[in-house]
Amino acid sequence: MTTALFFKKTRIILLLVFFMNFNVFAFENRILFKVENEIITTFDVYNHIKYLTVLNPKIQELDYERILEISKNNLIREKVKKKELLNIYKKISINEDKLDEVIKSIFINQKINNAKELTEYLSSFDLSFLDIKEKILIEIFWNQLIYDKFSSKIKIDKEKLRRDILDNQNKIIKSFLLSEILFNIENKTDLKKQFLIIEDSIKKNGFKNTALTYSISNTASSGGNLGWLDENVFSEEIKVKINEIKKGEYTKPILTQSGFLILMIDDIKENEAKIDIEKELIKIINIKANQQLEQFSNIHYNKIEKDTLIEEL
């Protein structure tokens, strides 16, 4: 038996044990929620748990009730987005090349490049590509909607960025591998209480599983993973907060336009900033634009969720 085949069989056995707890839940297929005219069933929740496991295997470390709650909340968010998209677009579909490009970006850690490879990978989780295709398409169209609606409101001082890059030439620049938790509260007096709840979850379940549970960011399903970011892409406030903590530590909540942000440093590296100024400028502009679009995305979602009828059955 090859090492790859052994690993695949071992993973299947572990997943079977994990999903045995949900078999009765999935078998009794019934409607749990209605989001306007869209329904969410126990079978939908069960399949979404498997999808979350594909994205972040650490979810298996959480208890049964917590995983169910995460899956339900994810699906409600998905249906709310779908409702908004169908008000704007006639059809939610794209060509295969574009879909493969998005799949590659989502499943970069699994080194998957297209729908065919993803189909083969999903089979070991007892999922088909059709089970998750709509999920991917909803995120693609949602991101397009946010860009179309808010791109004109993005504010970036390009000349200041250029000056900062020039000032940092040949200096040692820190890069951080970061994870995030973004959350909202009804009023500021609840901040301390909510942060204590999140801290307790981090101690018990780890940062990534806590992001799955409490974060409202699009990165939640991947455990809040932000990837590697240079310190010069942060606002001054965030740069100060990040430099106050060490690898393996996380910040206190930082107020942003879309909510309170907690950042954890997974790793740090230092590089001498011998860079192509124009390429670096484009890179930083894109990162800052995406950060602002993410804020607009959360604000817009919160607005339409308030106008959406969500019924628990």
Please report, in tens digits, the pLDDT of each residue of the chain (313 residues total): 443 343 344 344 444 445 555 554 555 778 888 998 899 998 898 888 888 888 887 788 888 888 888 899 999 999 999 999 999 988 888 888 888 888 887 777 678 888 888 888 888 788 888 888 888 899 999 999 999 999 999 999 999 888 888 877 767 778 999 999 999 887 777 898 999 999 999 999 999 999 988 998 888 888 898 988 888 888 888 989 999 999 999 999 999 877 899 999 999 998 766 677 888 889 889 989 998 999 899 899 989 999 999 998 8
Report the distance separating Cα 140 and Cα 295, nearest Å: 17
Strand partners, 182: 261
Amino acid at 234: F
Q: For the whole model, what pTM was predicted?
A: 0.76
Backbone φ and ψ for 275, nearest 5 degrees, come out as: -130, 160
Q: Using alpha carbons, select from 84, 79, 83 the residue that is nearest to residue 31.
A: 79
What letter would DSSP give residue 90? S
As a 3-state breakdown, the chain gives helix, strand, coil percent values, each rounded to 5, of: 60, 15, 25
Q: Where in the chain is the domain with CATH 3.10.50.40?
A: 159-306
Q: Which CATH class is domain 159-306?
A: alpha beta
CA 268 from chain center: how many Å? 21
